[in-house]
Amino acid sequence: MKKLTFIQRHAYGWGAGFAALLWPLFPKRRRIAVDNLLKGKVAADEAEARRIAKASWCHLAGHIAEALCVPNVINAANWREHLDVEGASPVAVKLLLDTPDVPIIIASAHHGVWEAATNLLSFARPMIAIARVMNSRLVANWLKKHHFRGRITVIDKNHGFTPDILRQWRDERAAMTILIDQHTTKGAHLTFFGRPASCFTSATRLAIRYQAPVIVGTFVRVAPYRYKLVGGDPVTFAPGADRDAATQLLNDRLEAAIRRYPEQYLWFHRRWRHD
């Protein structure tokens, strides 16, 4: 691993520390996070829920601060040094990192280091990320120049999968990365952490239609600029498979990954709105 500058070495700690100072100013977010942790049976009691909630808040800021440094730390020569795949599914690792001739889908969540992982994986294959595009053109251009600098195409989630994007995905054998853990008003009514949830079905619809393998999981931070793959074997769905059952399987896989590292999940958004 290349030698880090002072700013690169301390980016995560500074981000997390700043978030810790701001934590008392957001009582509503604290309450949402604690309720989510208790109702999802992730925390055994209020004290543990408060601890995990604060840790996840600090991790979000720390991860974003570190992710902004990733393009200057991780490059085409050293990117594999920053991945920890020990204990991960060998089939998933091979498909993700060493099979660039197959278009794939990555179904993931706001867990671990989703921002940093997009940059890192772009050295293995082209990435297409479905995300919320910044309203500010200035900010969007800055991110494109300084943050998403690899083979990365960011698609506005409000525009959906256009024919051009689907053609690009298949022609480039890219990884279509979709975060499926947030609330949607038009999704399937399933469960997440045992609670009723409206869920995105885009990943399963693509997988069923195009017979593309789906890697379900996340990368978590285990050390500065070192990220561990958490997830099982890739899944594929037969033509005509039940969309809701397939989406529930993805939900269950993500839930298992999040339960292993709850301090790195975004607990303070209103994910569950039906109970």
In a domain, 136, yes or no: yes
Q: What is the 3-state secondary structure (H, E, C) of 201-269?
A: CHHHHHHHHHCCCEEEEEEEEEECCEEEEEECCCECCCCCCCHHHHHHHHHHHHHHHHHHCHHHECCCC
Number of separate domains in the chain: 1
Q: Which domain holds residue 127?
A: 79-261
Indicate yes or no: pTM above 0.85.
yes
**pLDDT grade for 94, boundaries at 50, 70 and 90:** very high
> pLDDT tier at 135 (50, 70, 90 boundaries)?
low
**Does 163 map to a domain?**
yes
Q: Could you report the per-residue pLDDT of 203-262, keeping only the tens digit for each?
A: 999 999 999 999 999 999 999 999 999 999 999 999 999 999 999 999 999 999 999 999
- The full length of the chain comes to 275
Residue 175 has pLDDT above 70, yes or no: yes
Could you tell me which residues are beta bridge partners of residue 126?
none
Provide CB contacts within 8 A for 104, sequence distance 6+.
Answer: 95, 96, 125, 175, 176, 212, 213, 214, 215, 234
| Residue 134 is assigned to a structural domain of this protein | yes
Question: Would you say residue 149 lies in a domain?
Answer: yes
Residue 16 forms part of a structural domain? no
Within a domain: residue 159? yes
pLDDT for 139: 45
Angle (deg, nearest 10), helices 114-121 and 46-73 = 30
Residue 148: band (very low, low, confident or very high) from pLDDT cuts 50, 70, 90: low
Beta bridge partners of 178: 107
Instruction: Tell me the pLDDT of the chain averaged across its residues.
Output: 91
pLDDT tens-digit series, residues 52-64: 999 999 999 999 9
Does residue 218 fall inside a structural domain? yes
